[in-house]
């Protein structure tokens, strides 16, 4: 045992330099726990390669020593996908040092970044070139592009721009046997065989390590408009979504649903936030952007909302008159998660459904959950335009946190069973990681699980890549 470890250590030192091979418990501790402190694992070393060749050499060394490999980017995942397993004896490969923007090509509207570049660094490089990289999410200051691609990250602009997958033209991958696949093509059309990049995007590091990517850029938004609308129920919100799409086309970049109780909770925890339209059951936050300077997008948004108020779809609405007002409206949405944390324990679900079945799902889930957990409080919000709900449950007043959280498995079963029955997904944007492995097997068909395992066995026959994740 000691010999093998010593041999591996010597190879890793030779590959990346001994200062980039961490083994002291205090040095490796930050890499063994996820950012929320919910997952804890073990590894014999953390290696920090500085370029793709070094990653390949580290992978070859680990493959020959038959030790597991856990790729890690910004360590901001929600499901423990970048945290090694408890009792693991493998190697964490941190991509943090590989953070260069390799190229920006304005005429091709592409940017090539290394895996360890933070999302915000990519956004800024695009902006510096007069263009726009639309992926945006709460962790953008610390999450990395490699992690964004490996989890097919979503965020606030999916309605218009798609997930990370849709924003990616090419990738570079170190394969489980240490070979490098250079798929860094910046082409919008390329029908030459299987689209291999799709396999690695969203695979959560179980099929190889994404080391770089060519990303699509877009015209920068020059005119922005934000509105807040009050509605009687969710079907009205869906009707409004439909109308806004028709009126605004792709200038519609965000359409967020917020329940009255979610808004009330947020304002209770953050009393300085505005209360633009008090006393309604449901709200939507509507964002519209135009790349043309001086576009009438705000007037168009106001007119479209007025038309929906005439028909009774909208009960009341307000359009932000300044950037400051727009930011305050967005703060109502963005602070819900933090307000929940301050309010007490939560059982959270990151689900998606066909938009058309969301009203029925909400009715059925509410009835089933109230029967199983009397007094449970619903904190429902999310990206309605994508069919993605953050369907969260708060403890009934007076219930002890532990007592409530003990019911998590029962609540998950009710919510996920209904999601599956309605053709939805139990993980819309956060992935599987360690958290939802058992749920994945429960809800996927045997054929689909078998196909995934076939792919995994074909590409990583020794099962060394990110053991204990996804499959």
- For its own copies, the binding residues in 274-333 under the rule CB under 8 A are 290-292, 300
Q: Distance (Å, rounded) from C-alpha 469 to C-alpha 451? A: 16
Find the binding residues for its own copies in span 117-156 (CB under 8 A): 151-152, 154
Task: Rule CB under 8 A: say whether 242 interacts with its own copies.
Answer: yes
Instruction: Choose the binding region for its own copies from 137-145, 256-264, 395-403, 456-464 (rule: CB under 8 A).
Output: 456-464
Task: Rule CB under 8 A: say whether 213 interacts with its own copies.
Answer: no
Nearer to its own copies, 80 or 276 (CB): 80
Largest CA distance in the chain: 78
Of 245, 267, 360, 413, the one binding its own copies (CB under 8 A) is 245
Least distance from C-beta 239 to its own copies, angstroms? 8
Burial code (b: 16+ CB inside 10 Å, e: under 16) for 257-293 equals bbbbbbbebbbebeeebeebbeeeebbbbbbbbbeee
Task: Rule CB under 8 A: say whether 53 interacts with its own copies.
Answer: no
Task: Rule CB under 8 A: say whether 265 interacts with its own copies.
Answer: no
Q: Would you tell me the crossing angle of helices 260-269 and 323-334 to the nearest 10 degrees?
A: 100
Task: Rule CB under 8 A: say whether 415 interacts with its own copies.
Answer: no
Nearer to its own copies, 24 or 446 (CB): 446
Instruction: Fill in the DSSP letter of residue 45.
Output: E
Task: Rule CB under 8 A: say whether 201 interacts with its own copies.
Answer: yes
Task: Rule CB under 8 A: say whether 73 interacts with its own copies.
Answer: no
Task: Rule CB under 8 A: say whether 110 interacts with its own copies.
Answer: yes
Tokens linked to 286 = 């509507």
Instruction: Choose the binding region for its own copies from 89-97, 158-166, 269-277, 333-341 (rule: CB under 8 A).
Output: 158-166
Of 63, 393, 429, 468, the one binding its own copies (CB under 8 A) is 429
Q: Distance (Å, rounded) from C-alpha 39 to C-alpha 455? A: 27
Long-range contacts of 131-135 (CB under 8 A, 24+ apart): 131/106, 131/217, 131/218, 131/219, 131/220, 132/217, 132/218, 132/219, 132/220, 132/221, 133/167, 133/215, 133/217, 133/218, 134/160, 134/161, 134/167, 134/218, 134/253, 135/161, 135/164, 135/167
Nearer to its own copies, 263 or 286 (CB): 286
Instruction: Choose the binding region for its own copies from 1-9, 84-92, 255-263, 350-358 (rule: CB under 8 A).
Output: 350-358
Task: Rule CB under 8 A: say whether 448 interacts with its own copies.
Answer: yes
């Amino acid at each position: 045992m000691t010999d093998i470890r010593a041999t591996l250590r010597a190879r890793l030192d030779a590959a990346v330099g001994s200062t980039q091979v961490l083994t002291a418990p205090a040095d490796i501790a930050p890499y063994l726990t996820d950012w929320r402190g919910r997952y804890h694992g073990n590894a014999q070393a953390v290696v920090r390669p500085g370029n793709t060749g070094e990653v390949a050499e580290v992978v070859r060394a680990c493959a020959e020593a038959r030790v597991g490999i856990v790729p890690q980017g910004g360590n901001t995942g929600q499901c423990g996908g970048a945290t090694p397993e408890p009792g693991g004896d493998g190697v964490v490969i941190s991509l943090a040092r590989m953070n260069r923007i390799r190229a920006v090509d304005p005429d091709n509207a592409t940017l090539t970044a290394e895996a360890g570049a933070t999302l915000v660094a990519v956004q800024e490089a695009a902006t510096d070139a007069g263009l726009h990289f639309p992926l945006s999410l709460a962790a953008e200051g610390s999450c990395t592009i490699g992690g964004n691609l490996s989890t097919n990250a979503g965020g606030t602009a999916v309605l218009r721009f798609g997930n990370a997958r849709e924003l990616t033209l090419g990738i570079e991958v170190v394969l489980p046997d240490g070979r490098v696949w250079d798929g860094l093509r910046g082409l919008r059309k390329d029908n030459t065989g299987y689209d291999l990049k799709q396999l690695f995007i969203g695979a959560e590091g179980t099929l190889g390590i994404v080391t770089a990517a060519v990303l699509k850029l877009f015209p920068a938004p020059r005119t922005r408009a934000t509105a807040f609308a009050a509605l009687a129920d969710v079907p009205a919100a869906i009707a409004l979504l439909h109308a806004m799409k028709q009126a605004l086309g792709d200038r519609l970049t965000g359409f967020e649903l917020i329940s009255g109780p979610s808004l009330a909770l947020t304002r209770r925890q953050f009393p300085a936030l505005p209360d633009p339209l008090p006393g309604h059951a449901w709200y939507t936050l509507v964002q519209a952007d135009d790349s043309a300077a001086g576009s009438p997008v705000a007037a168009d948004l106001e007119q479209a909302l007025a038309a929906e108020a005439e028909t009774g779809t909208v009960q009341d609405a307000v359009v932000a008159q300044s950037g400051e007002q727009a930011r305050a409206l967005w703060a109502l949405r963005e602070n819900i998660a933090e307000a929940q944390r301050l309010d007490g324990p939560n059982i959270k679900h990151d689900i998606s459904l066909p938009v058309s079945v969301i009203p029925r799902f909400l009715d059925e889930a509410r009835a089933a959950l109230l029967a199983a957990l009397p007094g449970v409080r619903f904190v429902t919000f999310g990206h309605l335009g994508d069919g993605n709900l953050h369907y969260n449950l708060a403890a009934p007043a007076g219930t002890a946190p532990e007592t409530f959280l003990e019911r998590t498995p029962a609540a998950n079963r009710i919510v996920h069973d209904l999601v599956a029955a309605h053709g939805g997904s139990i993980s819309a944007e956060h992935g599987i990681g360690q958290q939802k492995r058992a749920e994945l097997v429960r809800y996927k068909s045997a054929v689909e699980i078998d196909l995934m395992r076939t792919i995994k066995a074909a590409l990583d026959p020794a099962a060394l890549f990110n053991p204990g994740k996804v499959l």
